[in-house]
A and B are shown apart, each in its own frame.
Chain A
Amino acid sequence: MSRYGFRGLAAGRRLLLEVAVIGAAAMAIGLTVNYGMVMNAFSGKTVATPVVSPSQPEEVRFPDPVEMDEVRELLVDGALLIDARHQDDYRKAHIAGAVSLPLGTITEQLASFQAQVAKDRTLVAYCNGFGCPDSFDLGIILLKNGFQDVLVFEGGFPEWRDAGLPIEGEGQ
């Protein structure tokens, strides 16, 4: 092999090594910084950080996450979808069949909701997709107030709408 051939091979190896070092560094930092998030995601626990007031007791129950396909099956089995977004958003468009229970008005609406919905019914809360904590916070409140089976659909309204599944509302 010519002198230039050896040089090219060595340069290629060095480039691959440097690429590997950068990739390893990004993985090490990313996984260290986001260890909890990744572990929760892979163990099927909730990922979004719910807003829990310091006055709440230590043994807070968190709602489990469900994916879109599971939500569809749960709806067939009689689950109730709860829209945790603002009332205006719900009016414009929401997942077909969902009831509105905005996190901001839960204090006023909780009593009437408890009166209308059986405590053992499966409830699936959603809001504006990943990163939106309202459905988690609502789920915590519902679990704390006696509802036994509360789940959170993390993909929420955007994932459902983008999948072309049925939605309803004034804007539709």
Chain B
Amino acid sequence: MKTLRLVLFHASRLLLGSTFVYAGLIKADDPVAFAGQVANYQLLPYAWNYLVAAILPWLELICGALLILNRWVRPATLILGLLNLVFMVALVSLIVRGIDIDCGCFRPDAEVKTSPLAALWRDAGLMVLVVLVWVLDRRKNRQESAHG
């Protein structure tokens, strides 16, 4: 049972980390296009879209890399969980306002559009990984401190 939990923890950590490293790399490569995707949500003033596009990809990249490296797992997971929550709220706001745009979650110039609803389901899946990493990491730490 303990081994299964450990495997599940590392698998979730690596999957979550690599997903956000991939997403961060693509967005950091073309921040202007990503700013366009952020602007399409029609939530922020003009210049703030660029500020978000400048910082967000690096936050995803750093947190994803920390998860892959198995360092600072809890703060990285907490940040990714909060980011994912913000993404989900933004996607729900798109659905409520009837705005059908590409979510801009990964490739800013994606030829195949990901609808807000499809992106919401994907983010829900990522949230499951966030919860798994968070809970299993705490259990692992407790066991380690109990044995130590």
Contact = CB atoms under 8 A, between A and B. Distances in A.
Contact of A158 (B35, B40, B72, B76): B40
B50 interface: yes
Contacts of A25: 58, 62
Interface string B23-47: 0000010111111110110100011
B47 A42 contact: yes
B132 interface: no
A41 B56 CA distance: 16
Band of interface residues on B: 35 or more
Contact of B50 (A18, A21, A41): A41
Contacts of A155: 36, 39-40
Given A30-B57, A34-B53, A37-B54, A131 B42 contact: no
Interface string A16-58: 0011011101110111011001101110100111000000000
Given A31-B54, A49-B32, A159-B40, A131 B108 contact: yes
A132 B101 CA distance: 16
A26 B59 contact: yes
Contacts of A154: 36, 39
A130 interface: yes
Given A67-B46, A155-B39, A18 B55 contact: no
A29 B108 contact: no
B53 A23 contact: no
B50 A162 contact: no
16 contacts: A15-B78, A19-B75, A19-B78, A26-B58, A29-B58, A31-B55, A33-B28, A34-B50, A34-B53, A37-B31, A37-B50, A37-B54, A130-B37, A158-B101, A159-B39, A159-B42
